[in-house]
Each structure stands twice: as C-alpha cells, then as structure tokens.
Structure 1
Amino acid sequence: MRFDIISVFPEFFSVLDLSLIGKAQERGILSIDSHDLRDWTDDPHRTVDDSPAGGGAGMVMRPDIWGKAIDTVLSDGAGAGDEAGSVVVAIPTPSGTPLTQRTCERIASDAHHVVIACGRYEGIDARVAQHYAANGVQVIEYSLGDYVLNGGEVAAVALVEAVGRLLPGMVGNPESLVEESHGAAGLLEYPVYTRPVSWREADIPAVLLSGNHGAAARWRKDRALEKTAARRPDMVAKLDATALDKKDKATLASLGYLVPRGGTRPVPVRAREATPRDALALSELAARTFPDAAPAYLTDESIQSFIQQELSLARFQKYVANDRDRVIVLEADSKDLVGYALTIVPEADGIAGLDEGAPVDALIDGAERSGPLLELSKFYIDRQWRGSGGARILWDFTLADLASTCDKWANPGIFLGTNAANRRARHAYRKLGFEEVGTRQFTVGEQDNRDVVFARGLRVP
C-alpha cells in the first residue's frame, strides 16, 4: 500500500519512521511519502490560502493549489496497481464522518493508494472533494472526534497507523486484531495484566492465573461486555445477536440489554415505577400475556371474563393511583412496555390476599415471618421477551422497591400463586428465590384452578 501525505508541514511525518510503521516500510509492506503543498504554488510568497467567499473569519485553502498537488501524486501512483476503486483521497476535517475500525478495515482491504490531504485554517475549498468524488476517486472526509485540531496532520498519522497495522504481515499475531478494542468482536478490549502478580495492594484476578483457559476466556469476554456497555453503549446496540452465546446474553441482561426472540441486536431495557400514563399500555400488555399462562382446560370465555374484570384499563388506573399497589414496568428502548409486576402491600404488618390463600403460617427464609405478607399478584413478560433475562431485571427492581417499602420490619414476606400445571412459571419463580409452601384454589371466570403457592423474604441479597 502506498500513502502520500500532502501538508504545509511535511516534516511532521518523520514520526512515521518509528515503531511498527517504520519497520513495515523497511520490509516493503507499505510506503509513505510526505509532500509540501507549497511546492505547487507559483508566487513568491508560496500562498496556499485566500479569504473565504461570502466573508467570514479565517482563510480557506485554495482549490487550484490542491488540485495540482493531488493530480501529481495520483499520477505518480498510477501504473503501480491503481485500479478503479483502489485509490482513496482522505481529507481530515472536523465536519467529516467519524473514523471507525470498519472504515479502516475497508481501506486496508480495498485500497492500494491513499492520498491524505491535510488542511489548515478554515479547511480546504469544498470543490476539491466534490471534484475527485465526481471523477471516480473514492473520497473520505473523516474526523477523529468531536473536537477541532489546528490541522489535519495528527489525523493523517492516525489514519496511517490504523490502516497500516491491518495490512498482512504488520502484526505478528493476527488474533490480536480480533480481540482488541473495536476489533471483529465489536467490543472494547477487556482489562489486561502482567507481572508482578501483586502491585500496590492490587492483585491480578485469580482466574487469569488459574490455568483454566476456558474460564479466563469467559472472564475476559464478560469484562469486555461490561466495559463496552459502560463506555460505548452505541457499540453494544450494534452487536450481532447471532454471534452471541447464551452466557454472552446472560451477561448483557445483567447490564440491562436483552435480545428478544428473533431479534438481531441487543436492546437496552430498564425497570421503573409505573405512572398513570402507563395504564393503557399495562392493560393491553396484561391482556396479551395472561392467556399464555392459562392452563389448557380454561375456556376462552373464562379467560376473557378474567381479563375484562381484573385486567381492564380501569383496574390498572386504580392500581397505579394507589400507593399500596406497587406497579413496576419493564420498558424497552422503544418505550414499549415488555413486562410488568403488580404487588399488593397491606397496611402496617398485615396480610395481603388473606381471602386468596395467603400462606399465613409459612416460614419465610426458614424463619417465622416478622412484618407484613405481600402478594405478588401479577408478574408477566411479553412473549417475545421471555427467556431473555427480562424477568430477572424486573424482579430485582421490584424486590428492591418492596424491600425499601418494608424496611422497618425484620422479616417481611411475599407470596404468589401460579397454576400447578405451569411448569415453566414454577421453574422461573424458583430461580427468583421463591419456595413452594402450599396450594390454593383460584377462580378464573367460572372455573376453579389449583395453584401452587410460593413465598420468600424481602431481604435484598
């Protein structure tokens, strides 16, 4: 690959004779030539700029000077492998598209000759980029970030480094290009360590010294996911869901990102307290999700009767307005509600659902209950989000909310009932820390059902 860099400060690029880029030039992997833009001027003062058309501050670099310079270096590179699409004119500018690893990968794989035009002052006359783009040259106007430099020289060095290191033979271990930040995995790189094992009271994580390479790889992937979610959530939202395994998805769920069934990208979600504006969406969500939990023997008439009586808009308006009816929703980035929990909180140290089979005498976390007994009346996740980890996010928020509500009691409890035939729900509640403590009869429409009753304490681990 050939790089030609044009600048009013060509001596700036002596830095590219150092390190891996310098060694790559010696080995013939790439060539770098810097050129003084002023060599293409024809006046005694070697002028490369003029005042902006239409007025304004600063000076603009002239298109006629830049045209001659770029034409020359393109002509010098012709015949050395330049083909249609293999020549790039790169123009660093604060108004350009952010430079990404994907862009660098495309240049490294597709281009043979890269000309970098380093502007100064107010930039290069816009007609330069327009002219070369219109004449079949790939023009890339790029930015290093949301800030302004004095000129394009630093950005030119960055482009040469970023593209050059991707060329075959540049990096000793090609696998490092996969694992590094912004690499093929699409993540920021995990934290790295080396000897000494202990330094200033900080130790290398034990898993990296265990000799268990699988555990070390998992630890690194989890840390990479955590760092990316914290620092670059935009990158997490672009991850290919088909490339994520079950453990990846579990880690992302713990960070607030779920992959819905059939989804192609992780979606940020959050749990929050419901507001009156959520009442309609809650009633619609409840109407969608309740039939999925109903046993097969329930008739459609019974199911619809229950929905109309217990899950109506009016009911949810009442629930949300009542402080003792704690309604927590799980909201996707699109603002759609994808899950909800409704907990009935009794007054003082009373018992909720006393007429609905509340396990009054059950032990709570192995001890006698001391405090109120709450009822988790509803806990549902929308169909396409089940199994994604959303239940855990919804429950953790709900548990923290209820524990805060009942913090003055030593051992308050919470119970729920779910149909005895619903093995999926029973398994899910066990994973949330509930234990089976009994059974009850529960009526849906005109039909009686046998429920299994679960209970647990409100202590947050």
Structure 2
Amino acid sequence: MILDYVSIFPEFFAPLQLSLPGKAVAKGLVTFGVHDLRGYTTDRHRTVDDSPYGGGAGMVMKPGPWGEAFDDLTGPGTTIVFTTPSGEPFDQRMAEELAGAEHLLFACGRYEGIDQRVLDHARERAVVREISLGDYVLNGGEVAALAITEAVVRLLPGFMGNAESLVEESHADGLLEYPVYTKPASWRGHEVPEVLLSGDHGRIAAWRRAQAEARTAERRPDLLARTGVVSGLGDLDVRPAVPADAGEVLTLQRACWFQEMEANPGVEIPALRESLDDVRRGLGEWTVMVAREPSTGRLVGAVRGRVDHGEWDIGRIMVAPDLQGRGLGRALLELVQDLAPDDVETYVLFTGARSLDNQRMYKKAGFRMRPDRTSPPGAVVLTKKRISR
C-alpha cells in the first residue's frame, strides 16, 4: 500500500517511522511519501495562500500548488483524502474501506481551508473522500491524517503481530472494548475480576461480551442501534404481567438466580426454590411488569414491587442472561420506582452480599447500603429516599 502526504509542515509526519508503522515499512507492507506543498509553487516566495473572495477573516489555500501536486502524485487506484471538519465522520468501517485502497493521498489543509475548485478538480481524476475526525476544529489536517493512517494500516495483513487483537478491540464488532487487566491480580486494593482468573473460557467470553455491551450502552448508546443490541425498554413490549406469563417468568427467574447462586456460594436463594404455583401467587401479590421482544414475543425481562411497612419493596429485577449488561436492568429499576404509590417515601431492595455488579448498579441509581437494617442471610439491604414530585 502506498500512502502520500501533502502538507506545508512535512515535519509532522516523522512519527510514520516509529513503532509498528516503521516496522511495516521495513517489511515492505507500506510505503510512505511526504511532500512539501511549497515545493509545487512557482513564485519566489513559495506562496500557498491568499485572501478569500467575498471577504472574511483568514486565508485560503490557492489551487495552483495543489493542482501541480496532484499532477505529480495521482495515478490509477489513487484515493485522495481531504482531512476537513466538514467531512464525513471517520469510523472503523471507513478505516476498513480505506485499507482496501492501493494508494491513499492525504491533502492536509491549513488556514480557512482549500479552494473548493481543488476538490472539484480532484474528483475528475481520482476517488475523493472528505473525512473528519470529529465535531471540532484543528489547526490543520496533519494530525487527522496521522490518526487515519494508524487506523488504516494496522488493518493490513501482516501488520499486527497477533491478528486476533484486531477482532476483540473497540469498534471491531460495533461495540466498545471490554476492560482489560494484567498481573498482579491485586493492586492497591483493586482486584482483577474473579471470572478472568477462573480458566473457564466460556465464562470469560460471556463476561467480556457483557462488559463491552454495558460500556457501550453507558458511553456510546448511539452505537447500539447499529449492532442490534437492545438498549432500553423503548425497544421492548412492556406491560403488567398476567397469570399466563407465570411459566416464562419462572424460567427466567431460575436462569437469573442460578447466576446469583454462583456469585454467592452457599447462600440460600428463595427464587430458586419457588414452584410454578408460587410464581402465580406472586403475580397476584406484587405489581409485576414483564418485557418482551416485539419481533419474537420472547420474555426477556421482569421486575416487581409492592408496599411493605410503608416502603416500596423492589424485587426480582430479571434480565435474560444473553441480554445482560445492556442497560435493561437499570431501565427496569427506573420503571418499578415510577410504579410506587404517591405516598411512598422510601424504596428498599436487597441483593447478594457478593453480587458486586448488582450493588454497583443500585448505587449508581442512588441506592445506599444499609448495614443497620436486617437482611436475609448472605444479602445486603439498600434504600433510597424518593424525590418529591
């Protein structure tokens, strides 16, 4: 692959000789060419800019030097990349597209930009991509060109020492990457998650997927629509439970609380002992909401609440194991709080003492640990004051 860069500051591209890009050059995978735009000027002052037609602040890059540069550097298979804040947003999919090009020529603008006729002319002789790194403005296009280069060339076969690392990183499958850890297992009071030390590759893969989806839901929910990941109750059919739901609720309950049993070994978990009749009775004694996938009708979530000693007792927040970590649990928690009668002032719930993910979710939602309150064996109680409406 050939990559050329045209800039009035060619020194910006010294990093191309460092680290993995430099090794890729040594392997013959890529060829980098850096060109000073001033070398294509014809006046003794090597002028590359002039004042804008129509008036206004700043200077505009002249078309002449760019035309000469394109005459010299373009050929069959060339894609000219203009790095500009008015371009299409750069992402991993675009990096994959560009990695298939034979020759990338980066046109790095400065000042108020490049004369529009340069772009129009470029389209007559090559494929043109106008690309932006994000919704902000840099002093010039060089930094963007370097960022795009690194994202593109690392996708070339043979560039990465371990090709597997390309599969699991952020955006490879549309999600942000899961958190990573290395030795030591304990550092300054922070522990590596137990699942990563288990040697159980199935559990590790499931944990990583769940973490990636949770991180994406929290930081970049806009990405979830592209992956088909359910991001909240708005994607589901949510309604009060009816007796006919009892069988599916029991199945979901057992799947969810089996995981709780693994996280809290030796703790008696009532949800795992309940029969179908017990679940049916619960549907009559609690306010129970269920969530189904509209396309399949599959029951994927449930939650319940009821008044107990003047407090809104929240329980059985359940999400299908394959959809956990996508924000559904938090959405169900918000839903059940809204169902509390107006005179209720406190929400209360309990979870396993070792169910740290659950505890983090509840604390993030405003619940606080209550060691002063009696809890079932192996569990902890959390409460939250209701905000006056």
Which bracket does the TM-score occupy, shorter chain normalised?
0.5 to 0.7
Task: Write out per-residue CA displacement over residues 195-253 of structure 1, whole angstroms, 9 at most, x where no aligned residue.
Answer: 111111001101001110110111000000001111111111101x4xxxxxxxxxx55
Q: Tell me the SS of whatever aligns to 1:35.
A: strand
Quote how far apart the aligned CAs of 1:104 are: 1.0
Q: Tell me the SS of whatever aligns to 1:237.
A: helix
- Aligned partner (choices 78, 82, 85) of residue 87 of structure 1: 78
Name the % identity.
48
Pairs within 5 Å for 1:199-210: 199-210=187-198
Q: Does 1:129 align with 2:40?
A: no
* Alignment RMSD (CA, Å): 3.6
Task: Write out per-residue CA displacement over residues 9-63 of structure 1, whole angstroms, 9 at most, x where no aligned residue.
Answer: 1111111100000010011100001000000111121100011111111000011
Instruction: Mark the CA change 1:36 to 1:178 in structure 2 (over 3 Å): closer, same or farther.
Output: same
Q: What residue in structure 1 maps to residue 134 of structure 2?
A: 145
Pairs within 5 Å for 1:277-288: none
Distance in 2 separating the partners of 1:410 and 1:107: 53
Distance in 1 separating the partners of 2:33 and 2:291: 64
Instruction: Mark the CA change 1:403 to 1:7 in structure 2 (over 3 Å): closer, same or farther.
Output: same
Amino acid at match of 2:97: R
- Aligned partner (choices 66, 87, 108) of residue 99 of structure 2: 108
Distance in 2 separating the partners of 1:225 and 1:199: 26
Distance in 2 separating the partners of 1:94 and 1:410: 48
Quote how far apart the aligned CAs of 1:134 are: 3.2
Pairs within 5 Å for 1:402-421: 402-403=339-340, 405=342, 407=344
Q: 8 Å contact 2:8–2:37 — kept in the other structure?
A: yes
Distance in 1 separating the partners of 2:105 and 2:132: 16
Q: What residue in structure 2 maps to residue 176 of structure 1?
A: 165
Q: 8 Å contact 1:50–1:60 — kept in the other structure?
A: yes
> Which of these two proteins has the greater Rg computed from alpha carbons?
1
Task: Write out per-residue CA displacement over residues 114-168 of structure 1, whole angstroms, 9 at most, x where no aligned residue.
Answer: 1000000001111111112133x11011111111111011011111111110111
Quote how far apart the aligned CAs of 1:395 are: 6.3
Instruction: Mark the CA change 1:225 to 1:12 in structure 2 (over 3 Å): closer, same or farther.
Output: same
Amino acid at match of 1:141: E
Task: Write out per-residue CA displacement over residues 92-128 of structure 1, whole angstroms, 9 at most, x where no aligned residue.
Answer: 011111111111101112x101100000000111111
Pairs within 5 Å for 1:152-301: 152-183=141-172, 185-239=173-227, 241=228, 256=232, 268=235
Amino acid at match of 1:201: G
Distance in 2 separating the partners of 1:216 and 1:377: 33
Q: Hey, which bits of structure 1, 4+ residues long, moved more than 3 A? A: 267-271, 362-365, 373-385, 390-399, 401-411
Distance in 2 separating the partners of 1:182 and 1:382: 25
Instruction: Mark the CA change 1:67 to 1:395 in structure 2 (over 3 Å): closer, same or farther.
Output: closer
Amino acid at match of 2:91: T
- Aligned partner (choices 298, 318, 333) of residue 387 of structure 1: 298
Q: Tell me the SS of whatever aligns to 1:42.
A: coil
Q: What residue in structure 2 maps to residue 59 of structure 1?
A: 59
Distance in 2 separating the partners of 1:410 and 1:234: 31
Unmatched 5+ residue regions in structure 2? Answer: 246-279, 304-327, 349-380, 384-389
Q: 8 Å contact 1:403–1:460 — kept in the other structure?
A: no
Amino acid at match of 1:122: E
Distance in 1 separating the partners of 2:333 and 2:114: 55
Unmatched 5+ residue regions in structure 1? Answer: 242-251, 258-266, 272-284, 295-361, 366-372, 412-458
Q: Does 1:400 align with 2:337?
A: yes
